[in-house]
Amino acid sequence: MICPFCLEDVRFKKEQQLNGALEYVCPSASCRQIIPRLYAEEYHRYPPVVMSIIGHRAHGKTVALSTLYYALSRLNIESYWPDFYLFPINEASIEVVFEKARALEAGQLPPPNPKIFPEPTLLQVSNLPLTKKGKATLLFYDTAGEAFLRTQDIGRYAGFVRRARTALFLVSLPQLRQQTSKAHPSGELQRLLYTYIQGMADMGVDTRDQHLIIVYTCADAMLTTLSDWPDVQQYILHDDWKALQDAESYVARMHNISSQLKTFTQDGLNAQQFLSLASDRFASVRFSIISALGAAPNAAGSLAVKIKPRRILDPLLWTLERALPARKQRRIQQRADQLRQDPNSKNRSNWLSLFR
Amino acid sequence: MSLVFTPDITGFPLVHLLDTGYAVHLWPITRSQFKMAWPQHPAQQAPDEAAPAANPEALLMTGIVPADITAFAAWMNSIKNAAPGTRFQAPSVEQWRHIHDYLQFERLEKHLDVIKQTCTSPAAQQLLQSVLQERAVHTLLELSLMREGIIEWVWHEDHWTGLGQPSWDFYPNTFEPMNETIEPIETTRPQQIFGLRLIRVRC
């Protein structure tokens, strides 16, 4: 069992606390955290999925996560995924989900995180596509971007990354251009990846066992940059939530957008070395693009209009898709190939067929 | 469908959509128009620095709240010699979208000469020049700045909301005005990206 606090593979022990309550506790001497009862008791019904989010400071990690919580809890996802529901399984997680949603609705962006090993947000999800029997516990960790600047800090402040089968590498190109004053900031992309790969190696983890999803954030500020990739532009501008009803086809389309974003990375950003490094050092590399807010916040970091997240579920769906058995992944890839050849083809299967 | 253009009393073109019975300003209200009615309005003192001066949206009045729309429309309605039996008001969501649909099929070259003639004020001529220079304009929709413009206040059922697609240089966004409205966080605090366009309806 993965302890959500120290990420060690342990067997939780039941121990009497000072107040007399019997609680599950992580037996690891350096952890000893009380484990949420539902996490421990429903561990096998709701297997954990570590959502590993990496990226520099100010590249949108916290905003993307907050919007994902908002989308899962407030945007009627259940009308696309029948009987879907979200259940934060400890008090801290309830607080996070409600507070982030409330702040976003009030037009406030979440503040940046301190450089500490973060408390996880634990969300049980039911009737979620691309999961075994539709159930999972999503473990979200949101740490400061500074944790990814030095190899030793990754182990200290972002140790959760070693337990993830998929790493979501969030990159804001507008931010990177601003930080580096370069139109093609591929060197900075490489630098983060170098640090990450080294940090993982220091923890004894080979990134070749991990999938990498490069998530371009702040898509609203990238639209002019994407003028040579009109399909990607349209993908962002016309977020088709109803298409989520058929998650398999939706993910197949994500594959095709990923291919185009790969070309964009290669030709539009001149980041061939970055691509070669990523392809060689990870089990697979895919690309995604999101706009957490739908529009730019003002200079003071608040919003003038209510948020309109675009493609905000894609990183989650990539994480789930990469965890599917190979034969199911192949089926989605075949669907993607069909869609590429005939974009208008009607797809009659639905996500449940994946598990028939 | 047929269109007629006339200048309004501020020297800016009104487009008459004959089968609807109303006319609409070809562009959102500009700073110069607003200044005629309200020279001391706070938003006049603080033009939006985000919009590059050469861009057409820099000439448009933004940073206003719905109460300003009511006041500006009342001023337009109060001027003598305005068309009798009509009044200015903000469009509804349905009207805004109808106008959008209407204008997108109208080729610019068919109407450009008459539009030039109805830009009777120097400010209107300046805006026309700016749009033609800065934008790729082939249709009246593109000329109208309903896209690549600002967010315009519109009335929806029982509340104010926004429609439009600001230019990406001015305000990065993914808005699609034909599918969704843009809900302001607050309607009482001025927002730099919100402006107005008026329609003239029969009373």
CA–CA min distance B179, chain A (Å): 9
Asked if B182 is an interface residue toward chain A (Cβ–Cβ < 8 A), one would say: yes
Q: Which residues lie closer than 8 Å to A303 by C-beta, 6 or more apart? A: A104, A107, A108, A109, A293, A295, A297, B185
Question: Which pLDDT score is estimated for B55?
Answer: 83
Q: Which residues of B touch A298 (CB under 8 A)?
A: 192
A77-81, A249-253, B24-28, B78-82: least confidently modelled range:
B78-82
Strand-pairing partners, residue A3, are none
Given a cut of 90, is residue A168 above it in pLDDT?
Answer: yes
Exposed / middle / buried, residue A43 (Cβ in 10 Å: 0-12, 13-18, 19+):
middle
CA–CA min distance A175, chain B (Å): 13
Average pLDDT over residues A132-140: 95
Question: Which pLDDT score is estimated for B54?
Answer: 67
Closest chain A residue to the Cα of B161, Cα to Cα: A305
Strand-pairing partners, residue A253, are none
Average pLDDT over residues A208-214: 95
pLDDT tens per residue, range A27-37: 999 899 999 99
CB B102 within 8 A of CB B17: yes
Given a cut of 60, is residue B51 above it in pLDDT?
Answer: no
At position A24, the amino acid (one-letter code) is Y
Question: Which pLDDT score is estimated for A291?
Answer: 97
- Cβ–Cβ of A298/B194 closer than 8 Å? no
Identify the band that residue A245 occupies on the pLDDT scale cut at 50, 70 and 90. very high
* CB neighbourhood size of A129 (10 A): 23
For A129, phi then psi, to 5°, come to -65, 165
- Cβ–Cβ of B172/A236 closer than 8 Å? no
Nearest CA to A122 out of A96, A157, A101 is that of A96
Q: Which residues lie closer than 8 Å to A123 by C-beta, 6 or more apart? A: A69, A72, A86, A87, A88, A89, A93, A97, A137, A138, A140
Question: Which pLDDT score is estimated for A118?
Answer: 76
Question: Which pLDDT score is estimated for A349?
Answer: 46
At position A12, the amino acid (one-letter code) is F
* CB neighbourhood size of B171 (10 A): 26
Q: Which residues lie closer than 8 Å to A153 by C-beta, 6 or more apart? A: A115, A146, A147, A199
Question: Which pLDDT score is estimated for B103?
Answer: 96
Given a cut of 60, is residue A53 above it in pLDDT?
Answer: yes
What's the mean pLDDT when you consider all of chain A? 89
Location of structure tokens 């979501």: A168
Instruction: Sort residue B49 into left (φ over 0), alpha (ψ -120 to 50) or beta.
Output: alpha
For B97, phi then psi, to 5°, come to -70, -35
- Tell me which residues of chain A have a C-beta less than 8 Å from any C-beta of chain B: 106-107, 174, 218-221, 223-224, 236-239, 291, 294-296, 298, 302-306, 308, 310
- Cβ–Cβ of A306/B193 closer than 8 Å? no
Q: Which residues of B touch A305 (CB under 8 A)?
A: 151, 162, 182-185, 191, 193
For residues A202-236, one letter each, b for 16 or more C-beta atoms within 10 angstroms of the residue's C-beta and e for the rest, the string is: eeebebeebbbbbbbbbbbbbbebbeebeebbebb
Exposed / middle / buried, residue A85 (Cβ in 10 Å: 0-12, 13-18, 19+):
middle
Give how far Cα A240 sits from Cα of A67, A175, A225, A250, B28, Å. Answer: 17, 27, 22, 9, 30
Give how far Cα A262 sits from Cα of A23, A53, A274, Å. Answer: 48, 20, 11
For B147, phi then psi, to 5°, come to -120, 155
Q: What is the rounded CA–CA span in Å between residue A309 and residue B76?
A: 38
What is the DSSP code (8-state) at residue B56? G
Q: Which residue has the higher pLDDT, B173 or A187?
A: B173
Strand-pairing partners, residue A256, are none
Which of B49, B165, B174 has the highest number of chain A CBs within 10 A, making it the mutation to test binding with A? B174
- Cβ–Cβ of B174/A306 closer than 8 Å? no
Q: Which residues of B touch A238 (CB under 8 A)?
A: 176, 179
Q: Which residues lie closer than 8 Å to A272 by C-beta, 6 or more apart? A: A266
Q: Which residue has the higher pLDDT, B157 or A114?
A: B157
Strand-pairing partners, residue A288, are A215
- Cα angle, residue A50 at apex, residues A29 and A104 outer, rounded to 5°: 110
Question: What is the end-to-end Cα distance of chain A in Å, rounded?
Answer: 28
Given a cut of 90, is residue A345 above it in pLDDT?
Answer: no
Strand-pairing partners, residue A287, are A214
Strand-pairing partners, residue A15, are A23
* CB neighbourhood size of A315 (10 A): 26
Q: What is the rounded CA–CA span in Å between residue A157 and residue A277?
A: 24
Strand-pairing partners, residue A249, are none
Q: At what angle do helices A173-180 and A186-202 cross, to 10 degrees?
A: 100
Identify the band that residue A348 occupies on the pLDDT scale cut at 50, 70 and 90. very low
CB B139 within 8 A of CB B103: yes
CA–CA min distance A308, chain B (Å): 8
Average pLDDT over residues B50-78: 86
Closest chain B residue to the Cα of A221, Cα to Cα: B172
Given a cut of 80, is residue B16 above it in pLDDT?
Answer: yes
Given a cut of 70, is residue B108 above it in pLDDT?
Answer: yes
Of B169, B176, B185, nearest to A304 by CB-CB distance is: B185
CA–CA min distance A83, chain B (Å): 26
Asked if B66 is an interface residue toward chain A (Cβ–Cβ < 8 A), one would say: no
Nearest CA to A177 out of A131, A216, A231, A235 is that of A216
For residues B49-66, one letter each, b for 16 or more C-beta atoms within 10 angstroms of the residue's C-beta and e for the rest, the string is: ebbeeebbbbbbbbbbbb
CB B47 within 8 A of CB B58: yes
- Cβ–Cβ of B183/A305 closer than 8 Å? yes
Q: For chain A, what percent of residues have pLDDT higher than 90?
A: 65
* Residue A294 in tokens: 């739908």
Q: For chain A, what percent of residues have pLDDT higher than 70?
A: 93
CA dihedral A240, A242, A246, A247 (to 10 degrees): 60
Identify the band that residue A183 occupies on the pLDDT scale cut at 50, 70 and 90. low
- Cβ–Cβ of B185/A106 closer than 8 Å? yes
* Residue B112 in tokens: 């450009």
Say how far residue B119 (Cα) sits from the centre of its chain: 14
Exposed / middle / buried, residue B176 (Cβ in 10 Å: 0-12, 13-18, 19+):
middle
Question: Which pLDDT score is estimated for A344?
Answer: 65
Identify the band that residue A195 occupies on the pLDDT scale cut at 50, 70 and 90. confident
Instruction: Sort residue B11 into left (φ over 0), alpha (ψ -120 to 50) or beta.
Output: left
Pairing of strands A22-25, A34-35: antiparallel
CA–CA min distance B174, chain A (Å): 5
